[in-house]
Structure 1
Amino acid sequence: MKYRTIGTDPKTRREVSVLALGAMLFGSVTDEKTSFAILDRYVEAGGTFIDTSDNYAFWIDDSQGGQSEELLGRWRRSRGIGDEIVIATKLGARPLAPGTGYIDNPEGLSPKVIRESAERSRDRLGVEKIDLLYAHIEDRTVPLRDTVEGFGELVAEGTVGLLGVSNHAIWRVERARALSAAAGLPGYEVLQYQHSHLRPRTDVPQPLFPEGNLGNAGAELLSYLKAEPGLTLVAYSPLLTGAYVRQDKPLPPDFDHPGTPARLAVLREVAKETGATVNQVVLAWQTGGRLPVIPLAGASSVAQLDENLAAVDLELTEDQRARLDAAH
């Protein structure tokens, strides 16, 4: 396994594995026995960075979520897991009532919700301190300063380590970070967005972003990452939920543009040259790139996890990287 550091403050920064494990469906679609086996194998291979949310997976049974955090809590207790494993969770998108959704009825990002939701996550996970806590989705009904102060208080109290943000417009991220800095408070240091080798159109409306796909790590976010040393991008859905390799998993409509076939062709060329799978090339392209990117990949079986883990040791040549970057 290889590792990188997230965060800049010596008091809160953490060293984590360059491949993060997504636990979204653990305890719901993925049963407990299989989930535990995947988690055990990940740790055995040197993995130290696990991702969940307080609303996973509410859409499976019209609940409010929490199944994933609860399973991770049971796994931690049964295995004697301590702070050597970094567990990140999110808040802000948990439905306020069963049978509702994160768009029409989210918990939001008020200071009261931040405090109460973080406490519930700590209880489910069985931890005294949440290693990394994200603002999951935007809440424009609450002043940004209130949200910043709500998160900052938890860090000051020692119940949260690092702060992160997901699925926010970049100008909102920058504004929040500026407010934090001006107030002498800790700010967002980890950004979680969808990012893969294939690039979607950003002008296609999404449920969270009717004005365009702002939840994707497009050119603006990647430029921001270059300009702000100390930030890390955790890239969710790096393998596009299997769409690279499975005929039954078509690419979403926003990938239907002339650049997609060109980038797929180069991916397949490099996979053939290296003897790796297309999925492994995508992950290796992210973990070994110049930008601080940590792919966040889920797994529904140990075999699937092992394929992902093998990507950590895949070394792409400079020529291969240049071709992957240049394809459009």
Structure 2
Amino acid sequence: MAEIVLGAMLFGTRIGEAESFALLDRFVERGGRWIDTADNYAFWADPSGLGGQSEQVIGRWLASRPGMRDRVAISTKVGAQPTDPARGLDAMEGLSAPVVRSAMTGSLRRLGTDRVDLYWAHVEDRSVPLGETVAAFGELAGEGLAVRVGASNTPAWRVEQARGLAAGLGVPGWAALQLRHSYVQPRPGAPLESWAHRQVFPETLDYVRSCGLDLWAYSPLVNGAYGGADRPLEQAYAHPGTTRRVAVLAQVARELGATQNQVVLAWLLGGDTPVWPIVGASTPARLDEVMAARDLKLDAEVRARLDAAA
């Protein structure tokens, strides 16, 4: 069953340590389990130009809460840590075997744990043979350093190719895919503001459903744009389908006495292809709103109305 995942991207930078601890505590109190981070979070928000702050804060939180490591599951990523702070994502660490191995060592040290529950290839790296990357992830999984492995920001065809290579090598393959996804969709072919983001398409849903992969979605609430006039959608979403979907979403939210954010999360969690939404929260009130979406059930008629608007 899909779950809401707490996105910890800004912990230790834009969200201070005390506030991060409070959010993590509240998440667990509300029954949350999965926490998502990356080794490069949040390099752009720190004067050093390098990441690691989020993992460090999570590690200190785990250390200060005896027994907590066994109550939560940790998801982190490798591949997008800048090697040159001045160049940022133009100088990503990539996915060579030595980098994958050394990055895991660094993440485990910062998190203060002996394993991560899901280890992701953060952004595909076509400068490295795919078989090399697959073997490196498979080795970490085989050693128990990663319970499972997955790919983020990677086309479905590359994921399937990688899974075939893993099977041939006899090592664990990518079992999850993480992409950008929400109720509103950008125009086909329209560039997103972040060039590294890759979008879910109908074929993606068909692929993960047929292969039994978990699908995780980042930016499910499109940076607070639902119901927030001060946070407009980016230009890629400017088309008639968005107008129709936003109108139906607002109507359904009013009928159900829920927020638009909650309806979107319930729509993602309860579809034919359940989606694991990664949601950031900067305040306990926002986190409470997010977690309450688990109790919102969309019946077949409501879901059909939401799906029909396109």
Contact preservation (8 Å) 1:169, 1:214: no
Whole-angstrom CA distance in 2 between matches of 1:278 and 1:292: 19
CA distance in 2, matches of 1:84, 1:38: 15
Secondary structure (helix, strand or coil) at the match of 1:192 reads: strand
- Residue number in structure 2 paired with 1:291: 273
- Cross-structure match for 2:170: 184
Q: Is the 8 A contact 2:191 2:236 kept in 1?
A: no
Alignment of 1:1-328 (within 5 A): 4=1, 18-62=3-47, 63-80=49-66, 81-102=68-89, 104-206=90-192, 215-229=198-212, 231-328=213-310
Following the alignment from structure 2 to structure 1, what is the Cα–Cα distance between the partners of residues 272 and 250?
A: 22
Change beyond 3 A, Cα 1:41–1:208: closer
Q: Distance in 2 between matches of 1:304 and 1:156?
A: 38
TM-score relative to the length of structure 1: 0.91
Residue by residue, what CA displacement relative to the aligned partner does 1:157-190 show, whole Å, maximum 9, x if unpaired?
1111100111012211111111111221111111
1:202–1:214 Cα contact (<8 Å) kept: no
Other structure's SS at 2:82 match: coil
Which secondary structure state, in structure 2, belongs to the residue aligned with residue 161 of structure 1?
coil
Identity in percent: 51
Q: Residue deviations 1:203-245, cap 9 Å, x none?
A: 1235775xxx87011122112122212x111111110010112
Larger helix fraction of residues: 2
Secondary structure, aligned partner of 1:289: coil
Deviations 1:286-305, CA, capped at 9 Å, x for gaps: 11112131111000000000
**Deviation for aligned residue 1:61:** 2.4
TM-score scaled to structure 2, two decimals?
0.96
The aligned length equals: 308
8 Å Cα contact 2:193-2:234 kept in structure 1: no
* Structure with more of its chain in strand, by fraction: 1
Whole-Å separation in 2 of the counterparts to 1:259 and 1:244: 15
The answer to whether the 8 Å contact 2:39/2:81 transfers is yes
Shift of residue 100, structure 1, vs aligned partner: 2.3
Relative to structure 1, the CA distance from residue 65 to residue 214 in structure 2 (aligned partners, 3 Å threshold; closer, same or farther) is closer
Taking the aligned partners of 1:202 and 1:163, their CA distance within structure 2 comes to: 29
Deviations 1:122-147 (A, max 9, x none): 00000101111000001111000000
RMSD: 1.4
